[in-house]
């Protein structure tokens, strides 16, 4: 008998996202597997169900963090990346940027937390959109670049 993962992969490959969601709904009644939650999130995203996709990816993140093993690190990184993709599709650009940066920080073995300065301060307008000019970005890059002695 095929496993849930094999059925899920086959449905995804055939772009049968409704069937994939149905199978994963059943599987997730018995387990909060972060992998299954991420897969269902992707299926919902393909169907344009962004609220459900975001809910699943956030549940996948928390499930992976709760497991707390080295094997879940990639799932945590993937969950943050998937959050960025979904938030971008929803037009929540500052939130998407923040999650993308957290994903990159985790992939680079750096900490990722809400105190990293992403999405705060004068760079955001009242609607959560960045208002940084090209000159501001260039100045920040040059001030953060390592200085080579001359």
Residue 24: half-sphere exposure toward Cβ, Cα within 13 Å: 29
How far is 35 from 9, CA to CA, in rounded Å? 12
CB 79 within 8 A of CB 64: yes
CATH of domain 4-115: 1.25.40.10
Instruction: State pLDDT tens for residues 54-77.
Output: 999 999 999 999 988 777 899 999
* Whether pLDDT at 89 is above 80: yes
Lowest model confidence (mean pLDDT) among 6-10, 97-101, 109-113: 6-10
Average pLDDT over residues 129-148: 66
Going from N- to C-terminal start, the domains of the chain cover: 4-115
Say what the pLDDT of residue 109 is. 87
Average pLDDT over residues 16-35: 94
How far is 24 from 15, CA to CA, in rounded Å? 14
Say what the pLDDT of residue 1 is. 33
pTM score, two decimals? 0.72
Sign, CA dihedral 77-81-87-90, equals: negative
CB 53 within 8 A of CB 41: yes
* Whether pLDDT at 144 is above 60: no
Average pLDDT over residues 79-105: 94
Say what the pLDDT of residue 121 is. 57
Residue 70 per-residue DSSP state: G
Q: Alpha carbon of 53 to those of 29, 59, 141: distances in Å?
A: 17, 10, 34
The better pLDDT of the pair 136, 7 is held by 136
* Whether pLDDT at 119 is above 70: no
Residue 114 per-residue DSSP state: T
- Which two three-digit tokens encode residue 62? 């928390």
């Amino acid at each position: 008998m095929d496993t849930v993962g094999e059925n899920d992969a086959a449905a995804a490959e055939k772009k049968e996202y409704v069937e994939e969601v149905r199978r994963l709904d059943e599987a997730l009644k018995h387990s909060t597997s972060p992998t299954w939650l991420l897969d269902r999130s992707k299926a919902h995203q393909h169907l344009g169900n962004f609220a459900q996709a975001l809910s699943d990816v956030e549940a996948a993140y928390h499930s992976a963090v709760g497991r707390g093993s080295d094997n879940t690190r990639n799932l945590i990184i993937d969950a943050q990346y998937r959050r960025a993709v979904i938030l971008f599709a929803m037009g929540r650009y500052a939130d998407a940027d923040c999650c993308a940066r957290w994903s990159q920080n985790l992939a680079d073995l750096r900490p990722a937390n809400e105190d990293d300065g992403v999405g705060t301060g004068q760079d955001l307008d009242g609607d959560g959109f960045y208002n940084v000019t090209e000159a501001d970005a260039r100045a920040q890059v040059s001030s953060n670049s390592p200085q080579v002695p001359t």
